[in-house]
Amino acid sequence: MTVTTVYKQSWTMDDVHWSLFDQQKVEPTLLAAIKAAALVEYNAPDYVVYLKRIFADSSAATLASIEQWGQEESQHGLALGRWAELADPDFKLEEAFVRFRKGYTPNHFAVHEADSVRGSRRGEMIARCVVESCTSSYYSAIRDATEEPVLKEIAGRIAADEYRHYKLFYDTLNAQTEPDIGFWKRLMIAVGRVRESDDDELAYAYYCANVPPEKKAMTPYKRKKYSRLSANASMAVYHRKHIQKLVQMVVKVVGANPHGWLANLAGALLWHRLQARSA
C-alpha cells in the first residue's frame, strides 16, 4: 500500500523543501503543463473579486473564506511557478502572467454584475465544486506521476488544499437559503463547467507559458492547437483511480450517490474518452 504525506492547511513557500530539487528528474511534457497551471492558479484574485460580488451580502465568515481561498490559490501559482523557474531558467512566471492577463479575461469578470453566470449562488458553488474536483484529482495525479521530489511535494500540498476547497464550496452550497436546485439542473451546470475546460483559459495559459515572446510572431496563438497540446500534457499523468475520485466528487455535488452506478458509469466513460484522446 502506498503511503502519502498528509499536508495541513496554511503552509507557506518556506515550508517547501526547495533544496531537494533534482533537475535530472524533470520531465519536459510535465514541465510544460506545470508552467501553464502556474498561470491559471496565479490568476485567482480575479475569481475572488467575482465571487465576492455574488456573495456581497453574505456573512463576514463567508467573505473571509473566499479571501482565504484566493490567497491559497495564488500561492499555488507561486509555488508551481518557482518550481518551473528552477526547472527552466528561461521561464519567468511574472512575465508570462502579464501576457496571459493581457489576452484572457472572461466576460463575467469584465462585466461588474452581482448575479452569477450560473444563475444562482447554488449554481456558482456547484461549478466551483466541479473545478476543485478536477484540480484535486489533477494534482494528486501529478504527485503520483512525478519522480522529482520538490514537484511531488508541491503537488501533494496543492491537492490537499484543493480537496479542502471542495469541502468549503460544498458546505457553502448547502448553507444557501435560495431554493434548492434539482438533479438535472445540477447535472447541466456541472457538465457545462466541465465543457468550459475547452475554452481559452487553459489553452492560452499553455501558449503564454511555453511560447516565448520573441517567438510570438512566428508562432501565433491558435486555440484548437494549444488546447490539444495542453490536454495531452495534462492527461499523461492520470491513472484510473484519479479519474474515479474526480467523478465521485462531481457526482456527490449533483446530488447522486458517489459510489453508485452513475459514478461508476461516468468514471468508465470519462476514462475511455481520455484514453482515446491521448492515443
Model confidence pLDDT, tens digit, residues 198-257 = 678 899 999 999 999 888 889 999 989 998 899 888 888 999 999 999 999 999 999 999
Helix, strand, coil % over all residues of the chain, rounded to 5: 75, 0, 25
Cell numbers at 157, concatenated: 500540498
In this prediction, residue 209 carries a pLDDT of 96
Name the nearest CA neighbour of 38 among 5, 1, 86, 3. 86
**More confidently predicted of 107 and 53:** 53
Are 148 and 22 within 8 A, CB to CB?
Answer: yes
Please tell me the least confidently modeled range out of 1-15, 16-30, 166-180.
1-15
In this prediction, residue 115 carries a pLDDT of 78
Chain segment 262-272, per-residue pLDDT in tens: 889 988 988 88
Q: What one-letter code names the amino acid at 155?
A: A
**Domain 25-278: top CATH class:** mainly alpha
**Please, how many CA atoms are within 13 Å of residue 15, restricted to the half-sphere of its CB?**
13
* pLDDT beyond 60 at 2: no
* 186/26 Cα distance (integer angstroms): 40
In this prediction, residue 97 carries a pLDDT of 96
* pLDDT beyond 90 at 164: yes
Alpha-carbon torsion 254, 231, 140, 176, what sign?
Answer: negative
In this prediction, residue 29 carries a pLDDT of 95
Work out the mean pLDDT of the chain and round it to a whole number.
91
In this prediction, residue 268 carries a pLDDT of 92
In this prediction, residue 109 carries a pLDDT of 63
Domain boundaries, the chain: 25-278
Name the nearest CA neighbour of 135 among 162, 171, 168. 162
**More confidently predicted of 218 and 278:** 218
Cell numbers at 230, concatenated: 495542453
In this prediction, residue 1 carries a pLDDT of 39
Average pLDDT of the residues in 177-196: 90
- Say what the alpha-carbon torsion angle 238, 242, 246, 248 is, to the nearest 10 degrees: 150
